[in-house]
């Protein structure tokens, strides 16, 4: 599976024109949600290559990353004469690149697509790596395929449209990449000021983060081994996220991942003696910038049940990626019900 070329653009429209020019598509379809249609599409349509393009709009929000929205996209493509020589451009955050990649890769057995990431979370997570998908029956990314974009463009100026919560949501995945990489990158993360965002410093962190992810994906594109490192924080995190929707108090993906990271580093501390000092540094970062997800023991069984449905599970055991130190990865780990509940206790007591 060939990974796409990811470009953090210096001259966005010129680079977009060059990428589109490589495909010579018969028709171009731009997928947006209601937010990116308003805030980002006008900038993208400055490209002369997009004169006469089709625009497909779906509702924003992860709750709309579902089969109904996929059907809307497929129906539009079919009714507007898309074929295997067409090109789709997914303009948005992770929700758009996930569902857009899934719709493109399954329509007529696959048409080429480009991701233009407009959010920090999308840039360092969903836009790269080749995973596409939709949520199904209350479960995150339950249906999907591995099908990488032909190219990924990141225009850092789009991040100026994000509020603090969405910046912090994306920053969570940067934190995860630092934890699985090195003490140096972890120190870089800890020194970044989330109260006063410096876009140039953030650009460098994004570049480093994408390089970490792409290096791992290149080694293991289909997640049979080391790519599982990228799941750090996501077993607990997806449970928190899914539960937040279940109780109708939805949280952003990155917030759930940060809470998941805290739980899984505590589990790493329990099982592999992960350094307590680094666990406490993450705890401070979470409390300072993300707050906590209010749970008590009455929620544990529901959260545990959601974890049993995680895609990463094997042989009916809940599967975790853990760390014995910064950058020292322990994949395919399991935990008892009691150990998982102890992690919930630690989290609830923070």
Tens-place pLDDT, residues 64-73: 999 999 999 9
N-to-C CA span, the chain: 42
- The overall pTM is greater than 0.85: yes
Q: Given this model, what pLDDT does residue 103 score?
A: 98
Q: Given this model, what pLDDT does residue 181 score?
A: 98
Domains of the chain: 5-161 (3.40.50.1970), 165-348 (1.20.1090.10)
260 or 122, greater pLDDT: 260
What's the 3-state SS for the chain? CCCCEEEECCCHHHHHHHHHHHHCCCCEEEEEEHHHHHHCHHHHCCCHHHCCCEEEEECCCHHHCCHHHHHHHHHHHHHCCCCCCCEEEEEECHHHHHHHHHHHHHHHHCCEEEEEECCHHHHHCCCCCCECCEEECCEEEEECCECCCCEEEECHHHHHHCCHHHHHHHHHHHHHHHHHHCHHHHHHHHCCCCCCCCHHHHHHHHHHHHHHHHHHHHHCCCCCCHHHHHHCCHHHHHHHHHHHHHCCCCCCHHHHHHHHHHHHHHHHHHHHCCCHHHHHHHHHHHHHHCCCCCCCHHHHHHHHHHHHCCCCCECCECCEEEEEECCEEEEEECCCHHHHHHHHHHHHCC
Range 120-127 average pLDDT:
87
Q: Which token pair is 45?
A: 């349509």
Range 12-38 average pLDDT:
94
Q: For residue 45, which of 124, 116, 113, 120 has the smallest C-alpha distance?
A: 116
197 or 127, greater pLDDT: 197
Helices then strands, counting H and E runs in the chain, come out as 14, 10
Range 227-250 average pLDDT:
94
| pLDDT over 60 at 1, yes or no | no
Q: Given this model, what pLDDT does residue 141 score?
A: 87
| pLDDT over 80 at 126, yes or no | no
């Amino acid at each position: 599976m060939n990974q796409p070329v990811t470009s953090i653009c210096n001259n966005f429209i010129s680079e977009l024109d060059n990428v589109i020019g490589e495909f010579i598509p018969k028709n171009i379809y731009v997928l947006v949600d209601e937010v990116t249609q308003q805030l980002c599409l006008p900038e993208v349509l400055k490209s002369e290559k997009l004169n006469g393009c089709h625009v497909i709009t779906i509702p924003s929000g992860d709750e709309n990353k579902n089969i109904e929205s996929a059907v809307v996209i497929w129906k539009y493509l079919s009714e507007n004469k898309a074929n295997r020589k067409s090109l789709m451009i997914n303009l948005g955050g992770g929700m758009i690149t996930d569902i857009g990649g899934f719709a493109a890769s399954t329509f007529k057995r696959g048409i080429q697509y480009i991701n233009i990431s407009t959010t920090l979370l999308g840039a360092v997570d969903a836009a790269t790596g080749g995973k596409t998908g939709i949520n199904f029956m209350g479960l995150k990314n339950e249906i999907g395929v591995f099908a990488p974009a032909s190219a990924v463009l990141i225009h850092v100026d789009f991040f100026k449209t994000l509020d603090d919560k969405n910046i912090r949501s994306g920053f969570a995945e940067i934190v995860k990449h630092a934890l699985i990489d090195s003490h140096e990158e972890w120190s870089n993360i800890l020194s970044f000021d989330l109260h006063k965002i410096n876009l140039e410093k953030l650009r460098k962190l994004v570049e480093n983060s994408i390089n970490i992810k792409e290096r791992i994906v290149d080694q293991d594109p289909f997640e049979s081994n080391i790519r599982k490192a990228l799941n750090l924080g996501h077993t607990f995190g997806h449970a928190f996220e899914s539960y937040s929707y279940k109780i109708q108090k939805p949280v952003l993906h990155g917030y759930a991942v940060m809470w998941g990271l805290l739980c899984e580093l505590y589990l790493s501390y329990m099982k592999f003696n992960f350094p307590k000092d680094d666990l406490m540094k993450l705890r401070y970062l979470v409390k300072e910038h993300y707050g906590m997800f209010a749970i008590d023991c009455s929620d544990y069984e529901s959260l545990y049940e959601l974890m049993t449905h995680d895609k990463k599970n094997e042989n009916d055991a809940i599967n975790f990626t853990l760390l014995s130190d910064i950058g020292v990865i322990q994949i395919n780990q399991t935990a008892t019900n009691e150990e998982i509940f102890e992690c919930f206790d630690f989290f609830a007591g923070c």
